[in-house]
Structure 1
Amino acid sequence: MTLSNMPLHKEAVITRVGGEGVLRCRLLDMGLIPKTKVTVCHVAPLGDPIEIRLRDYTLTLRKEDADKIEVSGTEAGIE
């Protein structure tokens, strides 16, 4: 499952960060690295952008970028 498909207020762990070149480096620099716990806090009315919580701060990402981040659930109902 990707970060953009996660249900609201459920916790998951990043398993893989995709993308290429500068985008991938930027995502990693923002703290989106494998084994990091993330929670989707808010989604804009039209679905883009999404706000996530990780490492004691919130981060807003475009849905296109969130599609490149794969997660695995730590709570029931997320795989």
Structure 2
Amino acid sequence: MKIKISVIPIAVVFITSMFALLLFIIVHNTVTKPLIIDNAKRFYQHILTEQRNLLLSAIQHQDWALIRNWVTIESE
């Protein structure tokens, strides 16, 4: 018994998978990646704001132990 494999279904599956991969790359670069970068920037700004507020509060209350966490005094 001879088995004949048609090339057409293999080509269709290959072309479809290449199209799906291309679509994924386009969506990732145009939608997902900018959202990830934007969220990372926003999170970084939030952390900086929280750190600044904590340091200002420590300065106002003269919490020297907390201030020493941020400020290093170099001695010769």
User: For the superposition of Structure 1 and Structure 2, which TM-score range results when normalised by the shorter chain?
Assistant: under 0.3
Relative to total residues, which structure has the larger helix share, 1 or 2? 2
Report the structure number with the largest CA radius of gyration: 2
Per the normalisation by structure 1, the TM-score is: 0.18
More strand by share: 1
